[in-house]
Amino acid sequence: MYQGIRISGFGGQGIISSGILLAYAGMLDGKNVSFFPAYGAEMRGGTANCSVVVSSEEVTTPVVSQPDTVIIMNEPSLAKFEPLLKPGGLMIINSSLVNSRPKRSDIKVVLIPCNEVAAELKAPRIANMAALGCFCRHTGALSVEAVAKAMPKVFKRAKPEMLALNVAALRKGAEFN
């Protein structure tokens, strides 16, 4: 099993922390992982993306040039990462902020209103967790439980009620087809 993932959006959307969380969850699940962040000019508000590999085999490079899955959290990321997604790959789009749709017909697209899911939970900063839950459901690379188990390790200073909201967003995201 090999899953190369690219997550992209604005700084402040939890792009990098999402990647760290997936990689840590993979480690806890006994998989081989890599994580490679990329930042724009500014942290909050600039562009951010990361590559994550979760694999049952040895990971030879942290760079994911032709991802199996892309998670698109903002409009500019769609144009940048759509061409890179491998044929038959999965594209998860935050339909709350991305109005455009992919031009390709050889990929699977899942639209999820990440920001609305987070707003329903009264925690607007956890939209990324909804996207990760959707990723878990559609790829099977990691379970929602594995990602939830990694949260206290990755978000060490988070209060228990915030961790519970993150898990709730993860579970809600896993409901989207």
Quote the pLDDT of residue 3: 97
Contact assessment for residue 118 and residue 127, using Cβ atoms and an 8 Å cutoff: yes
Checking if the pLDDT of 17 tops 80, the result is: yes
- What distances in angstroms separate CA 114 from CA 35, 40, 46, 110, 123, one per listed residue? 23, 22, 19, 11, 11
Quote the pLDDT of residue 11.
Answer: 85
Output the CA angle 157-97-165, nearest 5 degrees.
30
Distances (CA, A) of 19 to 23, 84, 100, 107, 113: 6, 18, 24, 22, 20
Name the CATH architecture for the domain at 2-173.
3-Layer(aba) Sandwich (3.40)
pLDDT tier for residue 45 given thresholds of 50, 70 and 90: low
Segment 125-139 mean pLDDT: 97
- pTM of the prediction? 0.94
Q: Where are the domains of the chain?
A: 2-173
